[in-house]
């Protein structure tokens, strides 16, 4: 057992539904093992600004169902500098923190990787991002809630599209990853799905829309924001030029995908990895992300988790081609 007495917990980067469930799991597991817990507000900025406080069971009462993060979150330019990280470390030591659990995505883990190597403080990461773009876990905290939010929104858009015989171009989050677009596009029966990982074939898109015009009153195209043609607005312009008689509308779902009550899956995932993170620190792990692969808890070094080479399953692309006819 590692000699750890005080675990610091923080959230960083974009918020994701289920982060509060993860905070709750970390705090209560640490207390179960008779450890102190220090909450760090606004991630790395909080370390630099010495914005920390003691946490107990009551600190995380009645938060498992809440979206967002009670610890707040921020991006820190100062932490990117050696001087900023040095100040963060000094403040952590002053607070008695001797281990960290960081909840976030690739930016969070990039900072944690550097910090953990520069200073003698073990860090364990929990995958909190709606993009599901980290290696070392089948799903990230927040992804399930986000895709269900998209499905609910697009189902409502479809009602209007049906009523007016309209084509809707719906943009979802995914600057570097098209996993939200891909799964939700299949789930809502989209005529086309455009994602960053594949080349946008405009001729194929036009063919699908032309074929659908004859026997479908409504049409939905799902576009990830990082799609190569420039997102929903650019795709919308191209479609309007090609099909001037289409009643075309554009809908940007935006940040509603990050909010809302976390789903059961996200709450359970957050609880599992939160418990595993504290136990991993006690077992001597450091500079690793905790995930769940094929139902089992797994550990992945930060440098492997953040490589951004999550591959799109070709079977999903095949399903899109078959079902969009």
Nearest Cα residue to 256 out of 162, 151, 102: 151
> Active-site residue 131, yes or no?
yes
CB atoms within 10 A of CB 15: 23
Within 8 A by CB and 6+ apart from 267, the residues are 18, 21, 64, 65
One DSSP character per residue, 171-206 reads: EES-SS--HHHHHHHHHTT-SEEE-TTS---HHHHH
First vs last C-alpha separation in the chain: 58
- Note the Cα 178 to chain centre separation in Å: 12
Token pair 């008779």 is found at: 34
By CB atoms closer than 10 A (0-12, 13-18, 19+), residue 90 is middle
Angle between helices 264-282 and 19-32 (to 10 degrees): 40
**Coil, strand or helix: which one is 104?**
strand
**Coil, strand or helix: which one is 223?**
strand
Nearest Cα residue to 212 out of 243, 254, 255, 176: 243
Measured at the alpha carbon of residue 38, what is the angle toward residues 35 and 44, in degrees to the nearest 5?
135
Within 8 A by CB and 6+ apart from 76, the residues are 12, 43, 44, 45, 48, 84, 111
Q: Could you tell me the CA-to-CA distances from 170 to 110, 132, 133, 230 in Å, in that order?
A: 31, 20, 21, 13
Which of 106, 131, 144, 266 is flagged as catalytic? 131
- The catalytic site residues sit at 131
């Amino acid at each position: 057992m590692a000699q750890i007495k005080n675990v610091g917990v923080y959230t960083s980067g974009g918020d994701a539904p289920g982060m509060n469930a993860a905070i709750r799991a970390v705090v209560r597991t640490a207390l179960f093992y008779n450890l102190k817990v220090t909450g760090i507000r606004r991630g790395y900025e909080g370390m630099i600004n010495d914005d920390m406080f003691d946490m107990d069971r009551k600190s995380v009462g009645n938060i498992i169902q809440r979206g967002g993060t009670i610890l707040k979150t921020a991006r820190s330019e100062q932490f990117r500098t050696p001087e900023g990280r040095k100040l963060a470390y000094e403040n952590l030591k002053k607070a008695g923190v001797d281990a960290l659990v960081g909840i976030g995505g690739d930016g969070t883990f990039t900072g944690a990787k550097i910090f953990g190597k520069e200073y003698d403080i073990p860090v364990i990461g929990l995958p909190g991002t709606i993009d599901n773009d980290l290696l070392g876990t089948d799903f990230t905290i927040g992804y399930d809630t986000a895709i269900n939010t998209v499905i609910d929104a697009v189902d409502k858009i479809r009602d209007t599209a049906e009523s007016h015989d309209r084509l809707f171009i719906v943009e979802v989050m995914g600057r570097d990853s098209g996993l939200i677009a891909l799964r939700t596009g299949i789930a809502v029966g989209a005529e086309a799905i455009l994602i960053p990982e594949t080349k946008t074939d405009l001729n194929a898109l036009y063919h699908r829309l032309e074929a659908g015009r004859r026997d479908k009153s409504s049409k939905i195209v799902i576009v990830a924001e990082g799609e190569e043609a420039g997102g929903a607005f650019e795709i919308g312009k191209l479609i309007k030029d090609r099909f001037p008689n289409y009643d075309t509308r554009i809908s940007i779902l935006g940040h509603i995908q990050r909010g809302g009550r976390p789903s059961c899956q996200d709450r359970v995932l957050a609880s599992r990895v939160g418990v595993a993170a504290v136990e991993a620190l006690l077992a001597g792990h450091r500079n690793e992300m905790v995930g769940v692969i094929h139902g089992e808890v797994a550990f992945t070094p930060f440098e492997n988790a953040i490589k951004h080479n999550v591959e799109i399953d070709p079977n999903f692309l095949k399903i899109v081609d078959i079902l969009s006819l």
